[in-house]
A and B are shown apart, each in its own frame.
Chain A
Amino acid sequence: QKEVEQNSGPLSVPEGAIASLNCTYSDRVSQSFFWYRQYSGKSPELIMSIYSNGDKEDGRFTAQLNKASQYVSLLIRDSQPSDSATYLCAVTGNNDMRFGAGTRLTVKP
């Protein structure tokens, strides 16, 4: 079992809809959780971090964390074609950061 699991997609949503991206992790001692966006051919860029259970909102993005269920999600409201990218979930491990394989999101105009 991979330490960080994501649905590889592709996930396709129409413009203006809510995109929901999910991630599960196996290490119960993980403390910090991150979402990165990676456009094709580019490097990952941090878009959200979350450290405690509950929701954290930043503009159109909401990260949700449930440590008991070992589950973290990212909601993108009012999705735009420019949101089309691969979204990487990352979880802190023992002195390092482990990434999921990423979910490819396509927002159709």
Chain B
Amino acid sequence: IAGITQAPTSQILAAGRRMTLRCTQDMRHNAMYWYRQDLGLGLRLIHYSNTAGTTGKGEVPDGYSVSRANTDDFPLTLASAVPSQTSVYFCASSPSVGGLNTGELFFGEGSRLTVL
């Protein structure tokens, strides 16, 4: 079944360590996104990419970086993890119609990250 694959599904990480969350989609969607979800705060956008080779900052980008070398992959890197980055991370993609982003998001299953 086509969709978005995230890895790892769960990870416990020591503070100060570097971590990359992987996201791969096989739907050939142009736009991809990384969100974090925290209780009471809902989904907050970290970074986005409208197309391969471009990225942009979302609402809470500090401490995170992304790259978009090709259409399918959109990894999220925490250079030096801190406890406040404990969260559930969702990768999402969005199709385009007639060259315009529909805005409809398709989500991966999420990566639960705990930073101690």
From A43, A49, A95, A99, give the contact of B109 (CB < 8 A): A43
The count of residues in chain A whose C-beta lies closer than 8 Å to any C-beta of chain B is 21
Q: Are B107 and A43 in contact (CB under 8 A)?
A: yes
Q: Are B104 and A98 in contact (CB under 8 A)?
A: no
A-B pairs with beta carbons under 8 A, tally: 53
Residue B48 at the chain A interface, CB threshold 8 Å = yes
* Chain B residues in 8 Å Cβ range of A98: 45, 59
Given A44-B107, A49-B103, A90-B105, CB of A96 within 8 Å of CB of B45 = yes
The count of residues in chain B whose C-beta lies closer than 8 Å to any C-beta of chain A is 23
CB distance from B48 to the nearest CB of A (A): 6
Q: Which A residues are within 8 Å of any B CB, using their own CB?
A: 8, 32, 34, 36, 42-46, 49, 88, 90, 92, 95-102
Q: A42-B109, A99-B43 are in contact. List 11 more A-B contacts (CB 8 A).
A: A8-B40, A32-B102, A34-B104, A43-B108, A46-B105, A49-B104, A88-B43, A95-B48, A95-B56, A99-B42, A102-B42
